[in-house]
Amino acid sequence: MKDTKYIIGIDLGTTHCVLSYTEAQIKEDSDVPNINIFEIPQVIAQGEIKSQPLLPSFLFLPGEHDVPEGSLAVPWDREIDCTVGEFARQRGAEIPNRLVSSSKSWLCHSSIDRTKPI
């Protein structure tokens, strides 16, 4: 790991996801690594993006009239027609049939056939 610059940790939680990192090499003047939280860019309101420490584990799949066209665009995908995170949680609560949540819980449910569509 001599050439490794960072060590990262990812928590894919049922309600939130978080990403942390630390430098792979501890500085000589410190015996404890400095652990940082990576703020994740996400849509927090229609047309508004903000980096936040937690990414809510929600997917919003809007219908044709649920959000204005282009209001879910992110810098890395201007044509996207769905969103994850804070706005997905908020808007999905208003239109629950367009919200995907707790998918991790369903995947480990004993009565779910993981080979068939949900």
How far, in Å, are 16, 44, 73, 98 from residue 78 at the CA level?
Answer: 24, 16, 5, 21
Query: Where do the domains of the chain lie?
Result: 6-107
When pLDDT is cut at 50, 70 and 90, the band that residue 2 belongs to is confident
pLDDT digits (tens, 9 = 90+) for 7-63: 999 999 999 999 999 998 877 777 788 899 999 999 999 999 999 999 999 999 999
Query: In the chain, count of helices (H) and strands (E)?
Result: 2, 9
The predicted model scores a pTM of 0.81
State the CB neighbour count (10 A cutoff) for residue 29: 5
